[in-house]
Amino acid sequence: MKKIFYLTIMMAAVLLSSANAEPGKYLFILSGQSNMQGMDQKLSFEPRVIEEYGRNNVLIVKEAIGGRPIRMWVHDWAAAPDWKVDPDIPNTKPPLKEENGILYDSMMQKITDATKGIAPKAIAFCWIQGERDARERHSAVYEKSLKKLFAQLKADFPDTPIVFVIGKLSDFGKDNKQAFYPEWEEVCRAQEKVALDTPHCTIFSTDDLNTGDSPPNWKTKKISQRVDDLHMSAEGYKIMGERFAEESIQLLNTILSSGNDKTAPEKITPAFINRSSE
């Protein structure tokens, strides 16, 4: 009888511990250049994902800074062997190796802080970037670089379902009409190729989002009119947030319903934390 009693107590303790364990949450990572930086996720993205999954089940991490090339997210990025600075394009410079991956590491630290060591239930990585690479003529390595970025994230969370949503560059540089962005079309094609080749990945157009009233200037508060602009309009940013949310939700629900639901929470140390000691 005593043995049965002790076994009952132990089983109850295990069940209570499981019930009190903090569940993994849906982690949404918003990253890229100025158009991601300019999107206020609280207007449309955040309300939609919270509506779908519940406020207590959602974490959002943002790492986006204007004018940054993809190499700042990719640890082993390298330019094409025949690459050189185009003297006709101002504010371009030879890439520095120490820049490689610095924004990725910053992003991952934010993720560690947000998750508090609990493995996410699933991850949606939302990406809009490439303007700087089109400007600096790095389109030849853009497809490979974006695939490396996705691979880094999957390596750092090997047991977590991950989906990828790409906001394609807009029609601002369509047909390479902008002299200072000579490889716009090439970057667009690279983005499309990555979306085609990558499982659980999609891409959406932003061609209709860069015409209209701008958001108020951060300093003067003035509003300007944008027409096929490099940056989205105020309404465009709102719609972009909706599209990122809807595409993320569709992919997440599909991947989780297919049997890839990693629900067991566990304490984790993302692989990137150990990279500095290698």
Q: Residue ranges of the domains in the chain?
A: 24-262+271-275
CATH topology of domain 24-262+271-275: Rossmann fold (3.40.50)
What's residue 12's pLDDT? 38
> Are residues 127 and 35 in contact, defined by beta-carbon separation less than 8 angstroms?
no
Question: Which whole number is the average pLDDT over 222-247?
Answer: 97
> Are residues 67 and 263 in contact, defined by beta-carbon separation less than 8 angstroms?
no
What average pLDDT is seen over the chain? 88
Number of helices (H) and strands (E), helices first, in the chain? Answer: 9, 7
Residue 4 clears pLDDT 70, i.e. is over it: no
Residue-wise pLDDT tens digits, 122-169: 999 999 999 999 999 999 999 999 999 999 999 999 999 999 999 999
Residue 99 clears pLDDT 90, i.e. is over it: yes
> 200 vs 28, 36, 150, 162, 169, CA distance in Å?
15, 21, 11, 7, 20
Residue 218's pLDDT band, with cuts at 50, 70 and 90, is confident
Specify the pTM.
0.86
Q: Which residue has the higher pLDDT, 160 or 269?
A: 160
Question: Which whole number is the average pLDDT over 31-35?
Answer: 98
Residue 13 clears pLDDT 50, i.e. is over it: no
How far is residue 99 CA from its own chain's centroid?
A: 19
> 267 vs 46, 120, 257, CA distance in Å?
26, 10, 24
Residue 205 clears pLDDT 80, i.e. is over it: yes
Q: CB-based contacts of 20: which residues, under 8 Å, 6+ apart?
A: none
228/222 Cα distance (integer angstroms): 19
Residue 260 clears pLDDT 80, i.e. is over it: no
Rg (CA), the chain: 21
How far is residue 190 CA from its own chain's centroid?
A: 17
DSSP 125-184: EEEE--HHHHHTT-GGGHHHHHHHHHHHHHHHSTTS-EEEEEE---GGGGGG--TT-TTH
Q: Would you give the DSSP letter of residue 258?
A: I
What's residue 261's pLDDT? 47
* Percent of the chain scoring above 70 in pLDDT: 85
Residue 250 clears pLDDT 50, i.e. is over it: yes
Residue 270 clears pLDDT 70, i.e. is over it: no
What's residue 1's pLDDT? 46
What's residue 258's pLDDT? 82
Residue 23's pLDDT band, with cuts at 50, 70 and 90, is low
Question: Which whole number is the average pLDDT over 68-74?
Answer: 98
Residue 267 clears pLDDT 70, i.e. is over it: no
